[in-house]
Structure 1
Amino acid sequence: MTDQSEIDLAGKVAVITGGASGIGLALAVAAARKGMKVALADLSEERLKVAKETVEAAGARTITVRTDVSKLDDVVALRDAASQALGDPWLVANNAGITKLALSWDHSEADWKRMFDINVGGVVNGLLAFLPGLRERKSGHILNTASAAGLITIPAASAYVASKHAVVGLSETLYRELLASHSGVGVSVLCPALVKTNIMKSETTGAAPSADAMNSSHAMEPGDVANQVFDAIATRQFWILTHAAHMEPYIRSRTIEIVSQLNPSRASIDPDVARSSTAITGVDFLAST
């Protein structure tokens, strides 16, 4: 892969939503080590305070802005605060996201709305707020965090899966548009499988140990995800599949099922995730075909 030094990120501004923990915080630390200035956005002011100290320790001039990504006004305020304090944003990481593990009929209307407001609406609001400026400057890069669940499906996570499929489709369409219009703006979609973050903690608390998919041998550290992201940005790579080797057989199986019009089978789901969904719901997804 092309060396990251091909794009000099020193002095450029990164804006990262969901930046107080997990992948977002890892992205911020990696950006700091590249010499970028960083604007961190999250809902929790307490976690933002701690995250700021971490990112500043990595060498970045850093600001924090409490942001509800489901509200366009909040994201516009984030853009304005970042521009005023740090300069024009170059990297916009639409990273904030939530999940819920439950059978489809146990998802409430509120569950569906919140999932889409944050996971999809957060990306849309990021584009509405930042894309005009990036296009005007003919420079920059957008990172939309989706999931491996945007490429295959996870039992007992229909709202999450649907939201992440939406992010993948939106991002691929945007890529084609930005490229064909010679915008000068890049876009990548991040599709990680299991990453050691807190996103699943509330879903598995009190459940059997087998419910914790983070015990899987392929669960990745956030910092390793962030390194792959910056490798991809350096080469304007669209697809970022951090667990590509692990996910390939399931993605290929699903593609074959689609084009051959075969019913979904065990071959196209990640067994580690299916095991977790089984433990949480009591429905055996490993035995189904």
Structure 2
Amino acid sequence: MSDTGARVAVITGAASGIGRGLAEYAASQGLRLVLGDIDAACLATVAEMLSERGAEVAWQLTDVSQPQHLETLRDLAVQRFGGVDLLFNNAGIMQTGLCWEVDAAKWQRMLDVNLNGVLNGIRSFMPLLLQQKRPAHVINTASLAGLINSPLLGPYNVTKQAVVAISETLHYELAMLDAPIIVSVLCPGPVASSIMESNSRIGDADAQLDTLLGSRVRKGMRPLQLAQQVFAAIDEQRFWIFPHKFFKPALQRRLQSILDETNPVLQKAQE
């Protein structure tokens, strides 16, 4: 718990999609909020809406690719609320295309946001969480792409699998230190969000994928429904958070292929 009572949740990517859902659900549970997003206008709207509902909200324009922005968000949390109990490293973007056709700048942007955004959050907040000497929880948003590879999603696959790797590493390191800090990695499937708006299509090869992904995103799980599952997992101190279960047979096939040292097989979409 924070020094003055109610828990404090820091959420990046809080202006839309999963982040907004987390913010709305956290506010409904009485948490105080520190919100960050690169879209200041949308973030201000979300913050105002939650404040009108009675939540205590602080917000800051935050580009998670910039370490100093995460440090500013951390300092805001301390100044306004005295500490941090829940850290959601959530901000993320999408890029589709053949991996050799995605140019260096787009690859770098994906690495900067999806991976370095999480690393910057860990580097900025972990010393504070350890210094507080009380229970805290870090939740990193990955994806089912963090566990299963698909064609035309090279940058997304790479960054999300790296988020899973750093989350598991952080879990082991905190256990080694016997620190009272829990780590979770969130690996959702389709969630209704604006993530496809961050995608700049490279060529015709990914047009069909864009259509398919866009449809799945629009029909995906509602962010508030996902947030409810995330907070249930936090209460249970679960490392793996899988709001969608349909992927497990595909993951089992992949793991068995690794153990058997057989070549990967591209599964048809209907499978």
Q: Could you state the TM-score of these two structures normalised by the residue count of structure 1?
A: 0.85
Question: Which residue identity is paired with 1:169?
Answer: A
Aligned pairs (5 A) from 1:243-262: 243-244=244-245, 246-262=246-262
Distance in 2, Cα, partners of 1:57 & 1:208: 42
Deviation at 1:193, TM superposition (A): 0.9
In the alignment, what sits opposite 2:146?
150
* Matched residue count: 261
In the alignment, what sits opposite 1:162?
158
- Provide the secondary structure at the position in 2 that maps to 1:259: helix
Question: Which residue identity is paired with 2:161?
Answer: H
Deviation at 1:261, TM superposition (A): 1.3
In the alignment, what sits opposite 1:68?
63
In the alignment, what sits opposite 1:50?
45
**2:189 matched to 1:193?**
yes
Q: Calculate percent identity across the aligned residue pairs.
A: 39
Aligned pairs (5 A) from 1:73-152: 73-138=68-133, 139-152=135-148
Q: Could you state the TM-score of these two structures normalised by the residue count of structure 2?
A: 0.90
- Provide the secondary structure at the position in 1 that maps to 2:87: strand
Distance in 2, Cα, partners of 1:91 & 1:214: 31
Deviation at 1:185, TM superposition (A): 0.5
Match of 2:178 among 173, 178, 182: 182
Aligned pairs (5 A) from 1:236-275: 236-244=237-245, 246-267=246-267, 271=269
Question: Which residue identity is paired with 2:226?
Answer: V
In the alignment, what sits opposite 2:232?
231
Deviation at 1:212, TM superposition (A): 3.4
Deviation at 1:33, TM superposition (A): 1.2
Distance in 2, Cα, partners of 1:22 & 1:58: 19
In structure 2, the CA distance between the partners of 1:57 and 1:265, relative to structure 1 (3 Å rule), is farther
Where in structure 1 are there 5+ consecutive unaligned residues? Answer: 1-9, 273-285
In structure 2, the CA distance between the partners of 1:184 and 1:241, relative to structure 1 (3 Å rule), is same
Contact 1:29-1:58 at 8 Å conserved across structures = no
Deviation at 1:204, TM superposition (A): 8.4
- Provide the secondary structure at the position in 2 that maps to 1:46: helix
Deviation at 1:16, TM superposition (A): 0.4
Distance in 2, Cα, partners of 1:153 & 1:242: 18
Contact 1:178-1:185 at 8 Å conserved across structures = yes
- Measured against aligned partners, the alpha-carbon deviations of 1:242-272 in whole angstroms (never above 9, x if no partner) come to 112x1111111111111111211134x7x27
List structure 1 runs of 4+ shifted beyond 6 angstroms. Answer: none
- Measured against aligned partners, the alpha-carbon deviations of 1:105-152 in whole angstroms (never above 9, x if no partner) come to 111111111111111111111011111111122321101000100000
Contact 1:89-1:140 at 8 Å conserved across structures = yes
Deviation at 1:214, TM superposition (A): 4.7
In the alignment, what sits opposite 1:171?
167
Compute the RMSD of aligned alpha carbons. 2.2
Deviation at 1:209, TM superposition (A): 9.5
Contact 2:96-2:210 at 8 Å conserved across structures = no
